[in-house]
């Protein structure tokens, strides 16, 4: 009994982090219908930023989130101007290709510099014990921070002037433009936020698991699944989708090899999309 309970908690803890990892992807997707294929590599950038900040400057890993947040935002704004701005209003596949191209460049630079060696960052946070089971402290901190970040993002989107502009642009870009919202600036800021979120999730993931330059792909793929489960651009939905994914992984890992979990998740992705070819999104697009 305790075993099941423990694996549920474990699934929730991991799932909250998956949800955070997907949040930046789903935000950009929801606001401008751009699937940011640099998301995975931005998560990795967060991981390596943490590695450099802790090993070179000796920063506390959780303090390192602040510079990553700021840096991520700036990188995101740059990404918008480089690869997304010219794609707005063109067929969606073009932005898919342009962000994919940037992804190739970044992955190429990353592998040229670091190879595909495994890195890790040590954190010491006391865990919480429950009978025979101990939940690692870093997992609990990461899950709590993920929930807090989602809540902050939700409040930002619902209750601040800028957040409302973001939602307005997501709903109808032309109408937002007509009522005087500077849509281009809002789009750039949204991409900045999305990338900053990717970076922060990278920091938190790096406190949990070892990583390589190529680790981002898996989280990006999970991000797609989380997005279709949780709805576009919805931070709370992303957390719930992430938790659903975490629980699913917990439920299937005893029975199938690890390399199959991604496949199972992808089958889920396709099935959800086939079951709700347009409906689930149309009704949820406005829900941002």
Q: Which residues contact another protein by CB under 8 A?
A: 35, 82-83, 86-87, 90-94, 96-98, 100-109, 111-112, 221, 224, 257, 259-260, 262-263, 266-267, 269-270, 273-274, 277, 283
Quick one: which of 42, 53, 64, 173 has its CA closest to 110? 42
Q: Contact, 26 vs 190, CB < 8 A?
A: no
In angstroms, give the least distance from the CB of 121 to another protein: 25
In angstroms, give the least distance from the CB of 22 to another protein: 13
For residue 126, is it left (φ>0), alpha (ψ between -120 and 50) or beta?
beta
Question: Between residues 84 and 204, which has the closer beta carbon with respect to another protein?
Answer: 84
Task: Pull the structure tokens for residue 280.
Answer: 């689930």
Question: Between residues 213 and 288, which has the closer beta carbon with respect to another protein?
Answer: 213
d(C-alpha 5, C-alpha 63), whole Å = 32
In angstroms, give the least distance from the CB of 260 to another protein: 5
Question: Between residues 135 and 266, which has the closer beta carbon with respect to another protein?
Answer: 266
Q: What's the distance, Cα to Cα, between the start and end of the chain in Å?
A: 39
Question: Between residues 146 and 232, which has the closer beta carbon with respect to another protein?
Answer: 232
Backbone dihedral angles phi then psi of residue 106, each to the nearest 5 degrees: -65, -45
In angstroms, give the least distance from the CB of 63 to another protein: 32
Q: How far is CA 223 from CA 17, 25, 137, 186, 199, in A?
A: 11, 7, 24, 23, 14
Quick one: which of 30, 93, 10, 12 has its CA closest to 223? 30
In angstroms, give the least distance from the CB of 17 to another protein: 20
Question: Between residues 26 and 165, which has the closer beta carbon with respect to another protein?
Answer: 26
Question: Between residues 117 and 274, which has the closer beta carbon with respect to another protein?
Answer: 274
d(C-alpha 71, C-alpha 191), whole Å = 13
Q: How far is CA 118 from CA 40, 68, 121, 123, 261, in A?
A: 17, 21, 11, 17, 21
What is residue 119's three-state secondary structure? strand
Q: Contact, 226 vs 18, CB < 8 A?
A: yes
In angstroms, give the least distance from the CB of 219 to another protein: 13
Question: Between residues 74 and 263, which has the closer beta carbon with respect to another protein?
Answer: 263
In angstroms, give the least distance from the CB of 215 to another protein: 15
Question: Between residues 110 and 192, which has the closer beta carbon with respect to another protein?
Answer: 110
In angstroms, give the least distance from the CB of 100 to another protein: 7
């Amino acid at each position: 009994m305790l075993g099941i309970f423990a694996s549920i908690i474990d699934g929730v803890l991991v799932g909250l982090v998956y949800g955070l990892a997907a949040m930046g992807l789903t935000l950009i997707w929801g606001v401008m219908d751009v699937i940011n294929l640099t998301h995975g590599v931005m998560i990795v950038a967060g991981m390596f930023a943490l590695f450099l900040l802790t090993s070179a400057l000796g920063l506390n890993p959780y303090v390192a989130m602040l510079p990553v947040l700021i840096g991520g935002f700036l990188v995101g704004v740059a990404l918008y101007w480089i690869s997304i701005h010219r794609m707005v209003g063109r067929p969606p596949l073009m932005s898919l290709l342009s962000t994919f191209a940037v992804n190739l460049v970044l992955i190429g630079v990353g592998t040229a510099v670091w190879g595909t060696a495994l890195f890790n960052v040590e954190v010491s946070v006391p865990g919480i014990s429950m009978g025979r089971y101990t939940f690692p402290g870093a997992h609990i901190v990461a899950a709590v921070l993920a929930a807090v970040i989602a809540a902050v993002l939700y409040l930002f989107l619902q209750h601040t002037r800028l957040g409302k502009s973001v939602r307005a642009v997501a709903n109808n870009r032309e109408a937002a433009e007509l009522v005087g919202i500077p849509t281009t600036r809002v789009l750039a800021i949204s991409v900045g936020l999305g990338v900053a979120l990717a970076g922060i999730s990278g920091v938190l993931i790096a406190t949990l698991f070892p990583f390589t330059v190529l680790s981002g792909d898996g989280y990006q793929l999970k991000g797609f699944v989380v997005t279709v489960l949780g709805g576009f651009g919805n931070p709370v939905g992303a957390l719930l989708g992430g938790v659903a994914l975490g629980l699913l992984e917990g439920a299937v890992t005893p029975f199938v090899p690890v390399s199959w979990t991604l496949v199972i998740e992808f089958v889920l992705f396709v099935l959800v999309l086939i079951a709700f070819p347009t409906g689930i999104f149309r009704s949820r697009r406005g829900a941002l």
